[in-house]
Amino acid sequence: MPSVHLLTVHGVGRHHHLSNLLRTYQTIRANLTSVEAPSPGEDQIPGWRLTRFEEGESPPFLKLEPRVEPPWAPDGTNAVYLYEVNYSDFAGVVRQNHPINLTALLVGLDLVVCAARQRPRENASSVFGGDTARLAHCLQRVSGVLTAGTVPIIGLPSIVFRNYVGTFVATFTRFFEDVATFALDKNGEQLISSHLDRTVASIVSAMRPGDRLVLAAHSLGSVVVHNFVVRQWTVAPEKVPDTVVTFGSPIGLLVWIWLFLDFEDMDFSRQVAGGDHYFCWNPVSPGTGARPPVSWINVVNCVDPIATAFPEAALDLWANGPEIASGLKNGAITQRFFGPAKITRVGGAHTEYLNDKAGFLQILLRAAGLLSGAPDAVGDLRSRDGHRAATLSVLRTTQWGLLAVALAMIAVYCGIIGWRFGSRGTLWVAPFFAWPALTISTLAFFQRLMLGGPTKRIPTELIREMNWWDGASFPYRLREKLLSMIGRSRDVDPMASSAGGFLRLLVNLISFIPTGLAMTIPVAVAVWLSGKSPTVRQAWEQLWTFPGLLAFACFMVYVICCAAHELVRSWRQVLRILEAPAPAAAASALPHAAPPTPPSP
């Protein structure tokens, strides 16, 4: 009888080399959301028993066998092997050997988005539909929020309150580092891809005729698996899995950004000429052979900010529609929409898939042969249109809630300042902070002005070609003009060393000045109204009192809520743009045919 080999691939973050393997197994056997010891009734597969745990193997695996010998049927399963791919340890080593400055990474992303948005476009098409120009403005707003948040949000405040926000800052940093390691760092991408290749080859070599290979991948892991499947699809059919289950997958998001940044008019056959391209990632099939059919199931949770219900055309941009359909069972990706539509799940929905016993876990167990039935027979919690409507409804409430919290925090901040100076009139300053877009755009402006400049991928000449009258590019143009006037304008030498730690710290402290000045506005008003003018020493001593730290924390929460408000606003706008019909010119260009000769991978 055949066996099923289930390989799970984790997302970003630091993981023990057995964490994903054991978490998958424990989730199947118990309710991990409960703080009580598990009871036998929680077991989703009571008819299966663990017979082997080989943690020292490469890859490590668990073997499950039926407690009662199953009937000899063609679709019966003799055993299920659980494996994992864990690349976090050596991905961390890659970044330890070659550190990436998070501020430079996010400001560089903002700069390259600005350059791509101002690139001349005609009939810009996309496999995702929607108005490319409007989506590009949303991407620019998001990159501006990330740019604004590097130092004002997670820089100095994370140092002052490191005992309370250290975990969040570490997770935030590791997320972007892991994405950069695979998508932007060719060394990292090749190491991670080679690790997955070797793992799959080891599993396949131990499989017997009739055995099935199932890949289940979460978050960035789905991007790694997608890259693997596309590379093997036409050249190594023996390594191609029978079933792929992606959940919380950013494949659609990354493919869209890749097309937008590195290709003319979102056309994969027209890569931007000259210079280094932003992405090193290149998930295209290297051959033209027949594609073994894969059952591909993609699961999206409601209000998961990372997950996308990506179209089939996004799987292999070098192939045309019929070629891709020939490699998919039933000719399409099976999309499933789960997850409660709750405001408390915004953001957190990305990590809740394995806890969905009635939805996602049923698909995974059926795909692995641990439960009877076809995995694609598990129905949706809601339709695609219902999923979009539920997401928009929750995001609308979330956006207003974030605005309310931001206003409350700035009111408390002004109130504390007024209380310390004995002047209630300071509260009248709060309405001037009531527009999150203005707050974030102001912080982003100064971050771009102080930290923006040419990168390894963006030369000085390209910055000089940007539009002076564009809000995002103006600070980059202004910085470049000022540097040119003092003879300090030059391209980045890729072989030169970056600035030392002291200089980076100094620049980060300087870039916090705009936030500090914004914090002093209510103080200045209180001084004017009360007639009290504390000395610098007195002001410094007051900062480290409980009311001073509370006020500082309130202002930081205000800035974070403003940033989150702008992210949610952009998210809502993207959903509405994708819901609307594509412009006539772009729609007429979809889908575009692939060129006849594939590129080298």
pLDDT of residue 370: 94
Reported pTM: 0.89
Residue 521 lies in a domain: yes
Of the candidates 334, 356, 388, which is a domain's last residue?
388
3-class SS at 359? coil
Residue 46 lies in a domain: yes
Q: Inter-axis angle of helices 102-117 and 436-451, to 10 degrees?
A: 100
The more confidently predicted of residues 320 and 297 is 297
pLDDT of residue 556: 86
The CATH number that applies at residue 326 is 3.40.50
Q: Is the pLDDT of residue 342 over 80?
A: yes
The more confidently predicted of residues 446 and 584 is 446
- Using alpha carbons, select from 360, 283, 337 the residue that is nearest to residue 601: 283
Consecutive H or E run containing 67: none
For residues 448 and 354, membership in a common domain is answered with no
pLDDT of residue 578: 87
For residues 165 and 220, membership in a common domain is answered with no
Query: Is the separation of the CB atoms in 242 and 5 below 8 Å?
Result: no
Instruction: Please provide the DSSP assignment of 135-200 as one string.
Output: HHHHHHHHHHHHHHHTTTTTTHHHHHTHHHHHHHHHHHHHHHHHHHHHHT-HHHHHHHHHHHHHHH
- Using alpha carbons, select from 282, 101, 290, 309 the residue that is nearest to residue 186: 282
Q: What is the pLDDT of residues 249-301, one digit of tens each?
A: 999 999 999 999 998 888 888 888 766 688 887 787 777 778 899 999 999 99
Query: Is the separation of the CB atoms in 295 and 375 below 8 Å?
Result: yes
For residues 88 and 103, membership in a common domain is answered with no
Residue 592 lies in a domain: no
For residues 37 and 81, membership in a common domain is answered with yes
3-class SS at 6? strand
Residue 176 lies in a domain: no
pLDDT of residue 600: 39
Task: Name the pairing type of β-strands 61-66 and 79-85.
Answer: antiparallel
Is the omega angle on the peptide bond into residue 322 within 30 degrees of 0, that is, cis?
no
- Range from 29-43, 80-94, 523-537 that averages highest in pLDDT: 29-43
For residues 310 and 294, membership in a common domain is answered with yes
Poorest-pLDDT segment among 127-136, 254-263, 311-320: 127-136
Residue 224 lies in a domain: yes
Q: Hey, which residues does 85 pair with through a beta bridge?
A: 9
Of the candidates 371, 388, 405, which is a domain's last residue?
388
Supply the range of the domain harboring residue 503. 99-171+397-587
Task: Name the pairing type of β-strands 48-54 and 61-66.
Answer: antiparallel
pLDDT of residue 234: 87
pLDDT of residue 1: 75
pLDDT of residue 183: 85
Task: Write down the residue that tokens 């000395």 correspond to.
Answer: 535
3-class SS at 250? coil
**Cα–Cα distances in Å, from 67 out to 46, 77, 291, 378?**
8, 12, 37, 25
For residues 421 and 321, membership in a common domain is answered with no
Consecutive H or E run containing 583: none
Of the candidates 360, 388, 416, which is a domain's last residue?
388
Tally the domains of the chain: 2
Q: What is the pLDDT of residues 552-568, one digit of tens each?
A: 889 988 988 999 999 99
Residue 373 lies in a domain: yes
Residue 499 lies in a domain: yes
pLDDT of residue 548: 87
Residue 600 lies in a domain: no
For residues 121 and 19, membership in a common domain is answered with no
pLDDT of residue 177: 81
What value does the mean pLDDT take over residues 5-27? 83
For residues 419 and 462, membership in a common domain is answered with yes
What value does the mean pLDDT take over residues 143-154? 78
Q: Is the pLDDT of residue 451 over 50?
A: yes
Helices (H), 354-383: 360-367
Poorest-pLDDT segment among 150-164, 421-435, 498-512: 150-164
pLDDT of residue 69: 67
For residues 404 and 506, membership in a common domain is answered with yes
For residues 191 and 124, membership in a common domain is answered with no
For residues 442 and 489, membership in a common domain is answered with yes
For residues 215 and 329, membership in a common domain is answered with yes
